[in-house]
Amino acid sequence: MVIELQNVALTYQSPNGEVEALKEISFDMEEGEFVSIVGPSGCGKSTLLSLIAGLEQPSGGTVLVDGEAVSGPSQKIGFMPQRDQLFEWRSIWGNVTLGLEIRHQNTPERQAHVRELLNRYGLAGFADKSPAQLSGGMRQRCALIRTLATDPHILLLDEPFSALDYQTRLSVSADISQIIRQEHKTALLVTHDISEAISMSDRIVVLSGRPAVVKAVHDMGHLRPLTPMQRRNAPDFRTYFNLIWEELDVNG
């Protein structure tokens, strides 16, 4: 397994005392799989990504990446946050190569790979532009290319489309899904949008309210040959949506 969570728990200290955020979370991911996590607001979805990324340590249980316990940040993992976080004073080229600079990997070979990514995904002509000159969808593609530039094995996506309007979100989520599959990456997406999870994922992990436990895991493998938009029009799309909606009832 590329990612494996074994009875992961997290308790943190708040001004009002200890808060149990996660309780005995267990699931795994295979190489090349696209998995989404959905759950009620504040249940700890993003916290799970932080644990996998090595930015936080669990109070109990084990997080494994490629069979090794996570003890800190790893170059195997790329993180794509909610907002694109492009620096307005840097060109698009300067933004997409930022990770390479930070990791001292800004070699001619790596730069050639970034140019190939920009060309492949329709952004080669914007390398000298500023982020302000790009649409929201183009900015998100740049953010993903910046993440891909360091060639991570695993992508962690923390609600990366939440700042976009509905129409742009539909288009960009389809683009990002296609790019991730074309680049043969293993991806874990946190989202509050059930439709988005169904349209993009091989499996969906449903979390309960805090303290979060795994309520269900749904296999979307039979939908994998379909594009995100084709999935949204599939006969069983509404069935999955209603089922997950009921499972997300925080009183259930």
Three-state SS at 111: helix
Nearest Cα to 41, choosing from 244, 250, 204, 252?
250
- Hey, where are the domains in the chain? 1-76+154-168+184-252, 83-151
List of E strands, the chain: 3-14, 17-29, 34-38, 60-65, 68-69, 77-80, 154-158, 186-190, 203-207, 214-219
Q: Helix axis angle, 136-148 relative to 108-120, nearest 10°?
A: 150
Three-state SS at 15: coil
- Please list the pLDDT of the chain residue by residue as tens digits (252 residues): 799 999 999 998 778 778 889 999 999 999 999 999 999 988 889 999 999 999 999 999 999 999 999 988 888 999 988 788 899 999 999 999 999 999 888 999 999 999 999 998 889 999 999 999 998 888 988 999 999 998 899 999 998 888 788 888 888 888 888 888 988 999 999 999 999 999 999 999 999 998 999 999 999 888 989 999 999 999 899 999 999 999 987 444
Tokens read off for 223:
């939908």
Candidates 3.90.1150.10, 3.40.50.10070, 3.40.50.300, 3.30.390.50; CATH matching 1-76+154-168+184-252? 3.40.50.300
Distance of CA 245 to the CA centre of its chain: 21
